[in-house]
Structure 1
């Protein structure tokens, strides 16, 4: 049998550089059913055609060549959006949620279908989602033996073709089987603390939140999933289950209010560690150097853009809410609100103290400084709340110029009265 004059190419070769598929556009995209109809069109129409069971290997290969030649000529290989939609259920089935979040799996399927459907307003999310998946496919195939021969192997697998019904359906199932595990990895990263739900919020004043969500998701420096991360630590093979991480204090889960707040916290913690350990400018303190470094960082610029669009108060409020749930032991909501109020007002005071601008990313960064200063007192407050819940109703009132940090002594004083 003569070899095909065209190189078959690896699976990722069918994907374009923008994270889509060759020929993938709004007017040419087809549903899964359309693909199946096209698949049927390559079969013989006569009633007396030979069954797939009687087809020998040479016949299958000829069909494979014809399909591939047809694909090359019309420059349309497959609708990748349809592949993603078909991969949602097997992908979400691979994600293991915490025991108290089992219902999230069903919600996640609805969210993904809504975000990926063709008339969805979230086309940018779909475009960005394709990139890491295709990157992972490329990494996997770069390590595979004869990855470029996948289509030939599929054609020669008579049993698979029989079970699927047609050769094209077998190829389609192969595509979804390849994409689904990587879709699971990406979604498991994006949906920590119900983060994916933030993208689906429809409030008019959340434009900044959507922009920030997509901006962080598009950054390879902030979110970088490589193929090694998809392997089981012992067998070093692609893992069959993806454990959803819990970023709340003590490994607990919580519903995030701020996009990718755990990633932002980790980045700001790293910047603080560098500023506190490195040699700073002669007239700068580690705190001042920290604020400066945050302003110059990628995450700082993204936060500043969010503040410019949504306002500093909203951004600081939502980020601080998530920050407290990640750093403090919370026994009741009043305690959470009390700590947030103290940290926010203290952060404004710290920014003024350091000569920074309150209506900037400085106020977000200063949340970390405020927590570092008063962490011991928050721990005492947590202990106090577990002993005497009523004391949490007595809150110090901030003045208009921001909370005087001396007022933070009150919780400690209340604790001392108990002993």
Structure 2
């Protein structure tokens, strides 16, 4: 991380010079706010000159002043770095998947209203002690976020969705939510990207959203949840005014999740209590192609039921019974879902087979 930071805090090229300029501007702003909330700010040089112990320790007045500035700035810089490197976010700036990733990263970093840093202005310094850099993306050893500042974008859109729900005289809250986002600086920036870039951005955000919201234990499990999640979005889109649009928008992720939250969580529970079903799903014909319905959800439960049926004579009775108990609630919840009971549904016939297999 130190190597990455030292590389960025320079003026070797346009990107690094811009990063350094924004970093300086952010630190300058917080110091100004600190001065506004402090007394006798104009006399700090005089007070430092009168501090004999500090002068003796530093050796010279210049070194004493530098140490004073360093002690003040270092904690604020550390907090800034902790925010911008959350979930390995700096990796996307130094090793981007495309130019749009770099541009989006710098756009968000530059926007002080979108990306705020909790400096604790009014105090002499941030909270003392070790500053922890959060990472919620530990799916594998080298895991990190796929979309720049995805954790902040998720918070931002969650806040926006709450606001949209409280707007009076609005028949379609989902439409209002999408419209509000499109008019924000971030929404305008994303709209200016190419269709291919917006598709890539959407896929990256879906991946990060799953890890941040549902939680994942392996790359293979993440892959299954991605297919399920995209199917939920397709199902939501099919009944929305946006059904003819080909390029997805970030609010769709939240709208799809809000509508099918219990289904996605139940699917995740099946994968968690019966991890071997992940391999079964990966080997299914047509795996990797999201349907307009969450077919993979029913397939997962079917795979579990088939595996238990095959093990009834060979597995240890107590172990087998515990597996059945672990799966009972998620499978019964799935079988009772009204949305999947429709005869025209893709899942209808699969669900009939599942019920027969499970009841045996």
TM-score (norm 1): 0.63
- Residues 220-369 of structure 1: matches in 2 within 5 Å? 220-225=112-117, 227-228=119-120, 238-241=126-129, 243-244=131-132, 246=134, 248=136, 255-282=144-171, 285-305=172-192, 307-308=193-194, 311-348=197-234, 350-351=236-237, 353-356=239-242, 358-360=245-247, 362-369=248-255
- Deviation of 1:262 after TM superposition, in Å, equals 0.9
What secondary structure is seen at the aligned counterpart in 2 of 1:144? coil
Residues 411 and 296 of structure 1, relative CA distance in 2, 3 Å threshold: farther
Q: Distance in 2 between matches of 1:331 and 1:316?
A: 22
The equivalent position to 1:149 in structure 2, one of 43, 52, 55, is: 43
Q: Which stretches in structure 1 are left out of the alignment for 5+ residues?
A: 1-107
Whether 1:114 and 2:114 are equivalent positions in the alignment is no
- Partner residue in 1 for 2:344: none
Residues 343 and 211 of structure 1, relative CA distance in 2, 3 Å threshold: same
- Deviation of 1:200 after TM superposition, in Å, equals 1.2
Q: Distance in 1 between matches of 2:260 and 2:90?
A: 32
- Deviation of 1:290 after TM superposition, in Å, equals 1.9
Contact 1:276 1:286 in 2 (8 A): yes
Q: Please, what is the CA RMSD of the aligned residues? A: 3.1
Residues 398 and 387 of structure 1, relative CA distance in 2, 3 Å threshold: closer
- Deviation of 1:381 after TM superposition, in Å, equals 2.0
Q: Give the number of the structure with larger relative contact order, counting CA–CA contacts within 8 Å between residues 6 or more apart.
A: 1
Whether 1:195 and 2:89 are equivalent positions in the alignment is yes
- Residues 20-169 of structure 1: matches in 2 within 5 Å? 108-119=1-12, 121-169=15-63
Q: Distance in 1 between matches of 2:294 and 2:231?
A: 12
The equivalent position to 2:293 in structure 1, one of 401, 405, 412, is: 405
Q: Distance in 1 between matches of 2:73 and 2:100?
A: 31
- Partner residue in 2 for 1:46: none
- Deviation of 1:345 after TM superposition, in Å, equals 4.4
Per-residue CA distance 1:152-197 (angstroms, 9 max, x = gap): 2222333323332322222222221111111112111111111122
- Partner residue in 2 for 1:377: 263
- Partner residue in 2 for 1:218: 110
Residues 143 and 286 of structure 1, relative CA distance in 2, 3 Å threshold: closer
Contact 1:320 1:367 in 2 (8 A): yes
Q: Distance in 1 between matches of 2:288 and 2:115?
A: 40
What secondary structure is seen at the aligned counterpart in 2 of 1:160? helix
TM-score (norm 2): 0.73
Per-residue CA distance 1:105-144 (angstroms, 9 max, x = gap): xxx2222111103425411111111122111111222232
- Deviation of 1:274 after TM superposition, in Å, equals 2.4
Residues 288 and 164 of structure 1, relative CA distance in 2, 3 Å threshold: same
Aligned length: 300
Per-residue CA distance 1:311-355 (angstroms, 9 max, x = gap): 122101111111000111323221111111232344355445423
Residues 192 and 384 of structure 1, relative CA distance in 2, 3 Å threshold: same
What secondary structure is seen at the aligned counterpart in 2 of 1:339? helix
Q: Which moved more, 1:237-246 or 1:370-379?
A: 237-246
Residues 249 and 173 of structure 1, relative CA distance in 2, 3 Å threshold: closer
What secondary structure is seen at the aligned counterpart in 1 of 2:203? helix
Q: Distance in 2 between matches of 1:169 and 1:309?
A: 55
Whether 1:207 and 2:80 are equivalent positions in the alignment is no
What secondary structure is seen at the aligned counterpart in 1 of 2:260? helix
Q: Distance in 2 between matches of 1:326 and 1:399?
A: 22
- Partner residue in 2 for 1:31: none
